[in-house]
């Protein structure tokens, strides 16, 4: 049988493509080497956000991790192979290898598809560190499988995963140290954001060592000793989070002429690889490695397979994301530094906790919403630090993606005292500037 589409991998990207194409009446085969759900369900978004929630409940680490695993299974139940097959999608468990541009081999069987979608995701990148081979270490793949309490952890890599988990770990009474090679914390965000979280980590008693220099690891009895520059840290657990590697080596991509580099598979704006019948989506492509981008890629490919003559492009100007830290951080579009580096004429609007009634009544002493507009009040980007930053950014994402000028939000009356009303309050500042411009122009 020739399938309309073979999907390799059933994480957020693969499941989106498969379910969408099935709804459109296509004959689909999913090939998955593990359980469906991918990194997000098993080792990523679900366990990490659940872990953060349980860290606020007062239970101990061991119990919290058991509860996290229950949440993983609750989510995984809704996307397991039975659910997939009940929808009429064929499912084969095994590793897929390309045979030709329309054929893949799994467990010795060859399957043919008019289109093939690579949705094989990513895994933790493991750098070369002297002594690492002598110790056991954690990554996001085994951290949530831990079954015992522990007292100390050194996290190598000061990125989003460490920033999210470290506050929660500290709440469980664990001594946390983060070692980061870079001189600047959260270098992709405005400098004030990195500075804010640096200060917050220090207030919570979490050690952050920037510009840590070469790291060496030694085993001293039961303990692991992590050395860098002139310092050393004795720890029970070592956690590595220094980036992601695309899962593409085992697919035999060279054989059929699909190009890639260590960052991921090369795709055009329609998400076709260098072999046009084969698409690639999600983390195995990048540049943004989030579940919602995996889903977005998936939706584009559904559309491009169903309507090949009116293809849709992947666009990234309106991408938003959240860091589920303490408090949350979120952004859509450009940062202020990015906008300034492009020499754009910008207007920057900010709302702080002292001006935000919702922060005041929520006893929230840290809130900063920043919206960057061009000279015509189009939103170039926005960012938020605060309790519900991940939700607040969705409203700005909607305004930006629909090309609504920021001041137009004054036309939408929001319930008081919600964060929606806080965004509107900031939009009123832009409206004031807009009115001033009109008046001065007429005069
Ligand atoms: C700790 C952590 C927290 C995160 N939190 C968030 C968050 O809060 N929000 C967010 O948006 N994103 C978050 N992410 C990112 C998110 O998990 C990923 O962006 C998302 O899982 C990518 O989906 P995907 O479908 O591209 O790949 P994956 O989810 O990795 O799925 C790929 C699938 O392909 C399978 N596979 C691989 N190779 C083969 C092969 N050769 N044959 C058959 N099957 C194969 C794998 O087994 C896997 O099931 C987090 C990530 C981590 C690590």
Predicted confidence (pLDDT) per residue in 31-73, tens digit: 999 999 999 999 999 999 999 999 999 999 999 999 999 999 9
Per-residue pLDDT averaged across 352-356, rounded?
Answer: 95
Closest CA to 178 of 198, 202, 201, 156: 156
Per-residue pLDDT for 84 more than 90?
Answer: yes
Distance CA 29, CA 88 (A): 10
Per-residue pLDDT for 191 more than 80?
Answer: yes
CA of 283 to the centre of ligand 1 (A): 6
Per-residue pLDDT for 229 more than 90?
Answer: no
CA of 289 to the centre of ligand 1 (A): 8
Q: What are phi and psi of 363, to 5 degrees?
A: 55, 35
409 alpha carbon, distance to own chain's centre: 28
Closest CA to 240 of 185, 325, 159, 175: 159
Per-residue pLDDT for 442 more than 70?
Answer: no
Q: Which of 12, 32, 39 to mutate to test the pocket of ligand 1 (most atoms within 8 A of CB)?
A: 39
Residue 223 has a pLDDT of 86
Nearest Cα residue to atom 38 of ligand 1: 120
User: Residue written as tokens 């897929």?
Assistant: 96
For the chain, give the mean pLDDT.
97
Q: What is the pLDDT of residues 301-348, one digit of tens each?
A: 999 999 999 999 999 999 999 999 999 999 999 999 999 999 999 999
Share of the chain above pLDDT 90, in %: 97
CA of 290 to the centre of ligand 1 (A): 8
Question: Angle formed by the axes of helices 419-442 and 389-401, to 10°?
Answer: 40
Domains of the chain are 2-36+80-124+244-306 (3.50.50.60), 132-240 (3.50.50.60), 320-438 (3.30.390.30)
Q: How confident is the model at residue 221 (pLDDT cuts 50, 70, 90)?
A: confident
Q: How confident is the model at residue 236 (pLDDT cuts 50, 70, 90)?
A: very high
Distance CA 197, CA 368 (A): 13
User: Omega before 74 cis (within 30°)?
Assistant: no
In three state form, how does the secondary structure of the chain look?
CEEEEEEECCCHHHHHHHHHHHHCCCCEEEEECCCCCHHHHHCCHHHHHHHHHHCCCCCCHHHHHHHHHHHHHHHHHCCCHHHHHHCCCEEEECCCEEEECCEEEECCEEEEEEEEEECCCEEECCCCCECHHHCCCECCCCHHHCCCCCCEEEEECCCHHHHHHHHHHHHCCCEEEEECCCCCCCCCCCHHHHHHHHHHHHHCCCEEECCCCCEEEEEECCEEEEEECCEEEEECEEEECCCEEECCHHHCHHHHCCCEECCEECCCCCCECCCCCEEECHHHCCCCCCHHHHHHHHHHHHHHHHCCCCCCCCCCCCCEEEECCCCEEEEEECCHHHHHHCCCCEEEEEEEHHHCHHHHHCCCCCCEEEEEEECCCCEEEEEEEECCHHHHHHHHHHHHHCCCCHHHHHHCCCCCCCHHHHHHHHHHHHHHHHHHHHHHHHC
Side-chain-facing half-sphere of 177: CA atoms under 13 Å: 19
Answer yes or no: are the C-beta atoms of 251 and 95 closer than 8 Å.
no
Token reading at 139: 């990554």
Per-residue pLDDT averaged across 265-284, rounded?
Answer: 98
Distance CA 102, CA 115 (A): 7
Dihedral (Cα; 413, 416, 422, 428), 10-degree rounding = 40
Answer yes or no: are the C-beta atoms of 155 and 162 closer than 8 Å.
yes
Answer yes or no: are the C-beta atoms of 368 and 384 closer than 8 Å.
yes
CA of 42 to the centre of ligand 1 (A): 9
Residue 353 has a pLDDT of 95
Answer yes or no: are the C-beta atoms of 113 and 3 closer than 8 Å.
yes
Sign of CA dihedral 373, 195, 170, 127: positive
Pocket residues for ligand 1 (CB within 6 Å)? Answer: 8-14, 31-34, 38-40, 43-45, 48-49, 95-96, 119-122, 140, 161, 247, 250-251, 282-283, 289-292, 294, 324
Q: Which ligand 1 atom is the nearest neighbour of the CA of 35?
A: 49
Q: What is the pLDDT of residues 96-117, one digit of tens each?
A: 999 999 999 999 999 999 999 9
Distance CA 105, CA 101 (A): 12
Nearest Cα residue to atom 20 of ligand 1: 291
Nearest Cα residue to atom 27 of ligand 1: 121
Q: Which ligand 1 atom is the nearest neighbour of the CA of 45?
A: 5
Answer yes or no: are the C-beta atoms of 322 and 390 closer than 8 Å.
yes
CA of 433 to the centre of ligand 1 (A): 44
User: Omega before 327 cis (within 30°)?
Assistant: yes
Residue 365 has a pLDDT of 87
Nearest Cα residue to atom 53 of ligand 1: 44
Q: Which of 17, 41, 45 to mutate to test the pocket of ligand 1 (most atoms within 8 A of CB)?
A: 45
Per-residue pLDDT averaged across 14-35, rounded?
Answer: 98
CA of 11 to the centre of ligand 1 (A): 6
Task: Say if pTM beats, i.e. exceeds, 0.95.
Answer: yes
């Amino acid at each position: 049988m020739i399938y309309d589409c073979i999907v390799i991998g059933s994480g957020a990207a693969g499941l989106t493509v498969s379910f969408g194409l099935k709804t459109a009446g296509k004959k689909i085969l999913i090939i998955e080497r593990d359980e469906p759900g991918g990194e997000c369900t098993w080792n990523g978004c679900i366990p990490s956000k659940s872990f953060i929630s349980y860290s606020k409940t007062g239970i101990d680490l061991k119990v919290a991790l058991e509860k996290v695993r229950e949440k993983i299974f609750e989510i995984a139940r809704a996307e397991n192979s039975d659910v997939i097959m009940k929808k009429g999608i064929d499912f084969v468990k095994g590793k897929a290898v390309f045979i030709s541009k329309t054929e893949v081999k799994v467990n010795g069987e060859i399957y043919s598809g008019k289109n093939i979608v690579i949705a094989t995701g990513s895994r933790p990148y493991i750098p070369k560190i002297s002594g690492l081979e002598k110790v056991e270490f954690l990554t996001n793949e085994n951290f949530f499988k831990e079954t015992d309490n522990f007292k100390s952890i050194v996290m190598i890599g000061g990125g989003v995963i460490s920033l999210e988990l470290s506050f929660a770990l500290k709440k469980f009474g664990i001594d946390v140290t983060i070692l980061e090679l870079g001189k600047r914390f959260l270098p992709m965000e405005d400098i004030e954001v990195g500075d804010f979280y640096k200060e917050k980590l220090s207030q919570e008693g979490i050690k952050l060592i920037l510009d840590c220099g070469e790291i060496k690891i030694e085993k001293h009895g039961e303990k692991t000793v992590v050395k860098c520059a002139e310092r050393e840290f004795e720890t029970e657990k070592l956690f590595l989070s220094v980036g992601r590697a695309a899962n593409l080596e085992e697919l035999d991509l060279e054989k059929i002429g699909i190009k890639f580099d260590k960052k991921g598979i090369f795709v055009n704006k329609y998400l076709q690889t260098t072999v046009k019948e084969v698409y690639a989506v999600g983390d195995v492509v990048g540049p943004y490695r989030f579940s919602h981008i995996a889903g977005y890629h998936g939706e584009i490919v559904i559309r491009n397979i169903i309507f090949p003559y009116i293809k849709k492009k992947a666009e990234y100007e309106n991408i938003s994301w959240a860091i589920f830290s303490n408090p949350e951080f979120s952004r859509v579009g450009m940062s202020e530094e990015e906008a300034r580096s492009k020499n754009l004429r910008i207007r920057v609007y900010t709302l702080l906790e002292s001006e935000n009634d919702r922060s005041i009544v929520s006893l929230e002493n840290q809130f900063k919403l920043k919206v960057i507009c061009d000279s015509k009040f189009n939103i170039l980007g926005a960012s938020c630090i605060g309790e519900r930053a991940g939700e607040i950014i969705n409203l700005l994402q909607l305004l930006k993606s629909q090309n609504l000028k920021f001041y137009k939000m004054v036309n939408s009356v929001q319930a008081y005292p919600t964060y929606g009303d806080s965004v509107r309050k900031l939009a009123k500042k832009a409206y004031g500037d807009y009115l001033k411009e009109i008046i001065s122009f007429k005069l």
